[in-house]
Amino acid sequence: MPVSFYQAIPTVLHHVLLSDPSSILDVGVGFGKYGVLIRENMEVPFERYYKEQWIVRVDGVEAYEQYRNPIHDYVYNHVHYGDILNVHSQLQKYDCVLLIDVLEHFTKEEGHLVLETLLQHTNKALIVSTPLYPAHQTEYLGNTFEEHKSRWEKEDFRNYKCEYWIQYILDNGAQFIKLYPTIE
């Protein structure tokens, strides 16, 4: 479904704010929750309430264009519609990239390709969250991208410069991985 654990919101936002980004890419926009929360936490407290006052660039990628809604058009500077592996060449570099409850929708091989691709578009941090135990999930509202194809564990991130932690939520939980780009 185009949603994620609401309990993870404070952790995700905390790490976004720690990155002090002037540009953010939200991969897997879904309904648009993180776009709204980013604006609320990075613009409104600084008296930038209206869209024409906003200074943080917030772009998104959503694989399923039928999820497009007024939130996408208002909150995001631009949303690219299509599979991240097909639209990445249209992307700029971003201080912070979000991949929240998206990785489990790829096979492990595809997922590592997604991570490597996104790190090439990341200046400061790529923030990833994925369920500890992804539920069985097939298409949702005709969106075959919603199928869960993999379960990720800490060992899957051993070849990346990253931090890893778990937040237990009910009988499941979220894994958080904050990956850093390699400086060349």
Q: Is a pLDDT exceeding 60 seen at residue 65?
A: yes
Task: Report DSSP letters for 104-158, one per residue.
Answer: GGS-HHHHHHHHHHHHTTEEEEEEEEEESSPPP---BTTBGGG-------GGGGT
The predicted pLDDT at position 92 comes to 96
- % of the chain with per-residue pLDDT over 90: 79
Confidence of residue 143 (pLDDT cuts 50, 70, 90): confident
**What is the pLDDT at residue 2?**
60
Q: What is the pTM of this model?
A: 0.94
Confidence of residue 3 (pLDDT cuts 50, 70, 90): low
Q: What would the mean pLDDT of 158-180 be, rounded to a whole number?
A: 89
Q: In what order do the strands lie in the sheet with 78-81?
A: 78-81, 57-62, 23-27, 94-100, 122-131, 172-179, 162-169
Confidence class for position 170, pLDDT limits 50, 70, 90:
confident
The structure tokens 């990785």 sit at 103
Q: What average pLDDT does the segment 97-110 reach?
A: 96
The overall average pLDDT reported for the chain is 93
Tell me: pLDDT of 146 over 80. Answer: yes
**Distance, first Cα to last Cα, the chain:** 38
Q: What is d(CA 168, CA 19) in angstroms, rounded to the nearest whole number?
A: 24
Query: So what's the pLDDT on residue 140?
Result: 84
Mean pLDDT of 155-181: 90
Domains and CATH numbers, the chain: 6-179 (3.40.50.150)
Residue 97 has pLDDT above 90, yes or no: yes
